[in-house]
Amino acid sequence: MNEGIAPFFSPFTLLIGGSLVAIGFLSLFDLHFLKTPLRGKIALVVGLIFIVATEAMFATSSASGRYLEGQKVDLTECEFQTERDFPNERRDNPKLISEKITSCMNLLGYEWLNTHPHCKEAPISTNVFCYLPTGPMDRKIVSFQMGFE
């Protein structure tokens, strides 16, 4: 999710979810703010869904950690370092530049995979969609985020 959307919606989802959880939790102690006890239990479940949705917003945004946005930064850094270290090779030997960028990403913990449709369109070393992190949790989150691109 876009990093501008998650911080905007999270106060609302937390406020609504927290209120519904509180109302639902109090209905378990026979303090009913809604007409029936069943509605109180439904409020508890819906409130928990709002809180889980808020966590999902942060898990898929760059506000929560690096993930896809961090991968883009790492790729840009590798490209910059390679261009800085081999300024004339872009013209003379572009394959070397590509190999150096890919090896830099490997050192940072990314694996080259051309399974994403955007990578199949342009399988070049500077395409962020051609890499996935090697860590299992990071890999799942980045794959999930790439699904929305």
* pLDDT at site 13: 85
Same domain for 141 and 71, yes or no, is yes
Give the separation between CA 52 and CA 23, rounded to whole angstroms.
Answer: 17
Give the separation between CA 108 and CA 22, rounded to whole angstroms.
Answer: 44
The answer to whether the CB of 16 falls within 8 A of the CB of 50 is: yes
Same domain for 23 and 51, yes or no, is yes
Please name every residue paired with 132 in a beta bridge, in sequence order, or none if there are none.
111
Same domain for 77 and 138, yes or no, is yes
pTM of the model: 0.60
Same domain for 87 and 141, yes or no, is yes
DSSP H or E stretch at residue 133: strand 131-133
Give the separation between CA 9 and CA 15, rounded to whole angstroms.
Answer: 10
Same domain for 104 and 45, yes or no, is no
* Number of domain units in the chain: 2
Same domain for 88 and 132, yes or no, is yes
Each residue's pLDDT, cut to its tens digit, for the chain (149 residues) gives: 445 566 777 788 888 998 999 988 888 888 878 888 888 889 889 999 989 888 877 766 655 456 888 889 999 999 999 999 988 888 888 889 999 999 999 999 999 998 888 888 988 888 999 999 998 888 888 888 888 77
* pLDDT at site 3: 54
40: containing domain: 5-59
Number of Cβ within a 10 Å radius of residue 77:
13
143, exposed or middle or buried, with CB in 10 Å at 0-12, 13-18, 19+?
Answer: middle
Closest-CA residue to 9 (of 46, 82, 61): 61
Closest-CA residue to 28 (of 9, 42, 11, 10): 42
